[in-house]
Structure 1
């Protein structure tokens, strides 16, 4: 049911600023605004055209609260699809509250989180996936997440789903029609064309499902854990990556006793770096807590930067120990991307550097025999040498080809879940078609696939789902 009362909320961030925008939406929005607004030209705003601006004052009886600029949008020409008024006032928190309280007394109700966008969805101004993209756009903090949200808000994802659903619905109608003529044993749906359609839908669904791996990291950022023994330069590396003194650096082992996190955007992709406590045997209770947290952060990370002090490798025995440690990490975290970083290359002797290179090359050859690889980078964190190479290596873990080619990328967990379920139903229909299953049994799976398609765009929904989605919005949107 579409609500018909009039809601009001602050559309700009709370707090003092140069200006603030107060938004009203509902059947009586313009009428209520006219009760408190006096145009400097004496115009009656209830008689004015949509998409017009009016300078005037907000008044409470004889009391003038502020001089404002009022924007007027009528009916379907507004964001919500209903009468909408936006009042641009001075950004004093006192003025904001005075105007909102005045509008509440005149008949408005305070808007719930996301209620303006909810009304836009209910009034058919956008589908559900586009509405969710509004929240993603507001939350976007890098170029890549902004680009994906904009594409989805413009209907890129929902258009693709809607087209598949329409084609499947047409065949479903023919299948259902066959059920009405079951005794005549006739086929209205061309089975060859239906088979081709199912294959095409399966291909698109798999592509969208696979894109979630990229979309999820673009939207939420990629957690990267910097690990290694004490005093190998982990905090220095974090500072070099961020180009600021974020972590305390000293020659005393165990200086970092808690995890330090900060974010960096590299070529439009967000990375969340976690500087961890050095891993070693210790009797220090506080340091041991920090080491425990290190392993917890490694579990949460998608990429592990294993940092070592290359200047300590003076003999092959130490190099073999180093290689064994790498192997342990790879075996313990086989699903995580690992980059081995040999630090302090500025003080490594040429002979030692050659030894390290030769041993790592030999180890990489051994890994190839079991279809595994290893990324190795030599750096001087203190002098910021090799940091750009590390950034390029991190970017290589993110397949941004789809982003550059403007392909549809799925970032929403709800969409991902519905796509998986839709794919499962499509594969059931494919199996039924190949097995000569009766039309009535295939129709059940087709209806279920259509249901999951409809869940994504909001053609199939319920109050609980809408409540969960829009509860995460900011109030003024």
Structure 2
């Protein structure tokens, strides 16, 4: 149930700044603000002012001026939360921020819980649950692609897609269940051929949405890139060059990197999550072997695999390593063969690598990591190795793990409907599976939700949002 109390919180980042914003929302928000706000020129209370207006004045406590502020006034239902809302822009002193909060609480407000402003927006019908979750994604977006997807979801792109699916299913489940009332007459209201066509379309779309999570999660958290290769081929040097810092230890000693070094960097608006792995070689060192096993595990999780080879080595050695890594790279991954040390490499090795036959999911680039030569070409390959076309064409990309789990369940339910149609089972069993699919889709938008689910979702928000 919607809490009717008036809530307040600091909405700007913690600490000292030029300006801070304190939010107030609830039925008594304007009344409470009037108790502590004094405008030297207007003389009117905020309650009689027009909505969506800005007012300059002072925050007063016991006739003492706390700060000069600017107040933005919003009246229900035309506000973010759908309630009466006030936003106080004050100076960024932590003392001033806390003092204004103290005065608001003294006059009847209470401190907001994490995400409570957005939760009220959802409960008041200003947005559905998937849009509310997208608010947190917008705030936490760390690259252009993640920001674009979050904005699209916040504007309701994902919700419209799910809503359209539910509307189509609702029509047919109503027809199927109507048949149950006339079971003795053997009347068929739901055309089975039309139902199959619809179910196949929905199955295809649910599968497409479910499968898009791999791309969406990569965009949101950073595209996973594993840097693999033998010892001393320049993997750590390459990582340091890409990160533009000395993150990994560089040494001529074999086996320096014994564990996976991980870091995220934003390059040209795209986040990449790099894994510098232990050098792959035959060794009796138990600790180093553990690191090599982790190298292979990270390789399996990566969207892009950078296989670094040393052009100072004879071609047969390099060709053998390429063959072994190819066996571990799936068709859904991109393998970029990074021929390193071209400044000092063997001419014959480089010539043979230049004519190496590559598959559709393979690229090759020649670099000198230490001198950062051709690094821009490697970065270009990495960016284009991920299919951003889906995101750029405004297709719906799933980025939320909760949505992904629900879509998996909905997809399984719709597959049971298709199987039931093939087996020509009775309408009551079909209706049960259709209702189950509807239930899962409703969980995404919040049409079906529980306090436990809502509490878990909004607890991850910052206070003041």
TM-aligned CA deviation for residue 86 of structure 1: 0.6
Partner of 1:476: 464
Matched, 1:322 2:318: yes
**225 and 2 in structure 1: CA distance in 2 versus 1, 3 angstrom threshold:** same
Partner SS for 1:75: coil
Partner of 2:452: 464
Range 274-283 or range 409-418, more displaced: 274-283
Distance in 1 between residues matched to 2:317 and 2:246, nearest whole Å: 32
- Cα deviation, 1:307-354, whole Å, max 9, x if unaligned, reads 2221132xxxxx333333333334456575433222111222433322
Partner of 2:434: 446
Contact 2:8–2:22 (Cα < 8 Å) also in 1: yes
Range 291-300 or range 14-23, more displaced: 291-300
Which residue, 354, 358, 378 being the options, matches 2:351?
Answer: 354
- Cα deviation, 1:113-134, whole Å, max 9, x if unaligned, reads 1110000000000000000100
**435 and 134 in structure 1: CA distance in 2 versus 1, 3 angstrom threshold:** same
- Cα deviation, 1:395-447, whole Å, max 9, x if unaligned, reads 23311111121111111111112122212222222232333322222111111
Distance in 1 between residues matched to 2:107 and 2:392, nearest whole Å: 51
**428 and 300 in structure 1: CA distance in 2 versus 1, 3 angstrom threshold:** closer
Partner of 1:98: 99
Partner of 1:421: 409
**181 and 281 in structure 1: CA distance in 2 versus 1, 3 angstrom threshold:** closer
**6 and 272 in structure 1: CA distance in 2 versus 1, 3 angstrom threshold:** same
Partner SS for 1:345: coil
TM-aligned CA deviation for residue 190 of structure 1: 2.8
Matched, 1:151 2:158: no
Range 431-440 or range 98-107, more displaced: 431-440
Partner SS for 1:76: coil
Distance in 1 between residues matched to 2:177 and 2:251, nearest whole Å: 74
Partner of 1:88: 89
**300 and 68 in structure 1: CA distance in 2 versus 1, 3 angstrom threshold:** same
Question: Aligned residues, how many?
Answer: 463
Provide structure 2 residue ranges, at least 5 long, that are not aligned to the other structure.
none
Contact 2:70–2:90 (Cα < 8 Å) also in 1: yes
Partner SS for 1:55: strand
Partner of 1:404: 392
Range 11-20 or range 294-303, more displaced: 294-303
Alignment of 1:307-346 (within 5 A): 307-313=308-314, 319-332=315-328, 334=330, 337-346=334-343
Which residue, 403, 406, 423 being the options, matches 1:435?
Answer: 423
Alignment of 1:52-201 (within 5 A): 52-201=53-202
TM-aligned CA deviation for residue 247 of structure 1: 4.5
Partner SS for 1:71: strand
Distance in 2 between residues matched to 1:37 and 1:385, nearest whole Å: 62
**292 and 196 in structure 1: CA distance in 2 versus 1, 3 angstrom threshold:** closer
Distance in 2 between residues matched to 1:162 and 1:312, nearest whole Å: 59
Contact 2:58–2:67 (Cα < 8 Å) also in 1: yes
C-alpha RMSD of matched pairs (Å): 2.6
Partner SS for 1:411: coil
Partner of 2:239: 238
Partner of 2:6: 6
Contact 2:225–2:305 (Cα < 8 Å) also in 1: yes
Range 70-79 or range 299-308, more displaced: 299-308
Partner SS for 1:391: helix
- Cα deviation, 1:54-103, whole Å, max 9, x if unaligned, reads 11111111111100011111111010011111100000001011111121
Partner SS for 2:343: helix
TM-aligned CA deviation for residue 259 of structure 1: 4.9
Provide structure 1 residue ranges, at least 5 long, that are not aligned to the other structure.
314-318
Contact 2:257–2:277 (Cα < 8 Å) also in 1: yes
Which residue, 375, 379, 392 being the options, matches 2:367?
Answer: 379
Partner SS for 1:50: coil
Range 12-21 or range 186-195, more displaced: 186-195
- Cα deviation, 1:348-394, whole Å, max 9, x if unaligned, reads 24333224445x44xx5xxx7xxx96433221112322322322322
Partner of 1:208: 209
Contact 2:310–2:345 (Cα < 8 Å) also in 1: no
Range 84-93 or range 185-194, more displaced: 185-194
TM-aligned CA deviation for residue 17 of structure 1: 0.1
- Cα deviation, 1:140-161, whole Å, max 9, x if unaligned, reads 1111101100110000110111
**What TM-score, normalized to structure 2?**
0.91
Distance in 2 between residues matched to 1:155 and 1:259, nearest whole Å: 39
**What TM-score, normalized to structure 1?**
0.89
Which residue, 382, 385, 410 being the options, matches 1:394?
Answer: 382
